[in-house]
Amino acid sequence: MSEQQHSTGHALVGQYRRLRRTGVLLVIIAMALLVINSLLPSAPSLVMPDITPQQLAKLGVHLMLDDGRKQWPVERWAGHMGYAGLVVPNGYAVQLVRSDDLQPEKWQRFFDLAAQYNITPIIRLATVYNRDGGYWEAPPADEDGGYETIAADYAAFLTTLAWPTETRYVIIGNEPNHGEEWGGKPDPTAYARFFADVADALRAADPAIQVLNAALDPYAPHTGNSPHDNGFYYIDAESFMDAMVESLPDVFLRVDVWNSHSYPSQFTAPPWEQRYGVNRLNDAAAITTEAPPPNIYNRGINGYTWELWKLAQYGIEGLPVMITETGWRHEESVIDESLDAGDNLPDGLTVARYFDLALWGNGGRYPDLPEAGWTPLLSDERVMAVIAFALNGNPLEWGYTNWLVMKPDGTVSATYEIYDMVYSWQKALANRE
């Protein structure tokens, strides 16, 4: 995931690092909903947008039943999915699955819960988090340098599951231009081969699978031949994409849906603050050969526009977009106020208002705020999903981005304003229908 404007690559990286149908199950869900409704406060004082079912169905939440480092007890999952079912009852939910946790019986619970709430699951295939090194391991390569073995493991896992939807969305990896996401040092040639091998294996195993690329971090700098002060290397998104295509020219032809992490600058800026920029450090050479046209941004809530423009330079056009991560950090985190989540964070009500504006636009609802500077995400026909990060993360790490006020044991004690607002939209739509 990626967050006033970044002035240097050092600030970019610094900000980045400080960031499943049985009768018994139905009874559990019913009980969970009673508890949920008893906890929900009234929606924040905001101006209701003009809601359509088609637009609301684009919304989703990024789940953190497992974030790679901490997994909530499986017995807590029904409660968490109950909350998701209230805010995105016809939408999407992203959930990562680690390569050392490919257990169909366990993850079928998540799929069954998604079916219960008519939520479309999106699986993000992950590797294993190296706790000592503080990074995600690069996937294990075969002797020939390919990734057919791990690709077969992923395919076997996904085809064993009973999916709740006819179309199955699968993301292959995450932000591979980050050293923290690829064994300490990004390798675009290796990721291109990994993506191609896994995509080919998934399609061969199940033609219903729709493949999504690993979203890139548009804020990541290029650190060149030296690591960042934190010991990790980074490659800017453009250089990474160019290197992928250079090593495997048809790599992006395997993408069915373009995956984007379109975050506001520093997780705090309002939706109208957007820009184009690339940061290079150390001896990183400037590779950009052409600046994008006006109003094409790589940093901000419409950051996917630059990615689509860049894809067009390779002859790839017409891909639908899923924004599988976006959102703002809020200053409230009731677990540990000493945790450093960044400076000058907006409060929960401001975050709710920013999300509202990002999705719907202004249209005179807020006379004190701008009307222009961004394309409302739910009115952009290229965007098929907008998925907010995150619903239910470990509060000691994700408290400032959570929509739910989580306790360390995985129970939910309350909700933040952004959750209340989206819940109010769903209620309004249900009452109108």
CB 222 within 8 A of CB 286: no
Q: Which residue range(s) make up the domain with 356?
A: 9-432
The answer to whether position 1 is within a domain reads no
**Beta strand pairing call for 129-130 and 135-136:** antiparallel
The answer to whether position 255 is within a domain reads yes
Q: Where are the alpha helices (DSSP H) in 250-296?
A: none
Q: What domain count does the chain have?
A: 1
The answer to whether position 4 is within a domain reads no
The answer to whether position 3 is within a domain reads no
From 188, 281, 265, select the one nearest 219 (Cα to Cα).
Answer: 265
CATH number at residue 91: 3.20.20.80
Position 335 scores a pLDDT of 60
The answer to whether position 2 is within a domain reads no
Angle at 110 between CA 107 and CA 116, to 5 degrees: 145
Concatenated DSSP letters for 48-106?
A: PP---HHHHTTEEEE--SB-SS-B--GGGHHHHHHHHHHH-TTSEEEEEE-TT---HHH
- Per-residue pLDDT of the chain (433 residues), as tens digits, is 533 333 334 343 344 334 333 334 444 444 544 454 445 444 446 899 999 999 999 999 999 999 999 999 999 999 999 999 999 999 999 999 999 999 999 999 999 999 999 999 999 999 999 999 999 999 999 999 999 999 999 999 999 999 999 999 999 999 999 999 999 999 999 999 999 999 999 999 999 999 999 999 999 999 999 999 999 999 999 999 999 999 999 999 999 999 999 999 999 999 999 999 999 999 998 666 678 999 999 999 999 999 999 999 999 999 999 999 999 999 998 565 555 566 689 999 999 999 999 999 999 999 999 999 999 999 999 999 999 999 999 999 999 999 999 999 999 999 999 999 999 999 999 998 7
Neighbouring C-beta atoms of residue 107, cutoff 10 Å: 23
What one-character DSSP code corresponds to residue 226?
S
Place of tokens 């366990």: 106
Neighbouring residues of 167: CB distance < 8 A, sequence distance ≥ 6? 120, 208, 210
End-to-end CA distance of the chain: 36
Place of tokens 């109208």: 272
Position 17 scores a pLDDT of 38
CA atoms within 13 A on the CB side of 377: 35
From 69, 96, 108, 63, select the one nearest 81 (Cα to Cα).
Answer: 63
Position 16 scores a pLDDT of 37
Position 93 scores a pLDDT of 98
Q: Extract the tokens encoding 15.
A: 């900000």
Position 432 scores a pLDDT of 87
Exposure class string for 165-182: b at 16+ Cβ within 10 A, else e:
beebbbbbbbbbbbbbbb
| Length of the chain counted residue by residue | 433
The answer to whether position 142 is within a domain reads yes
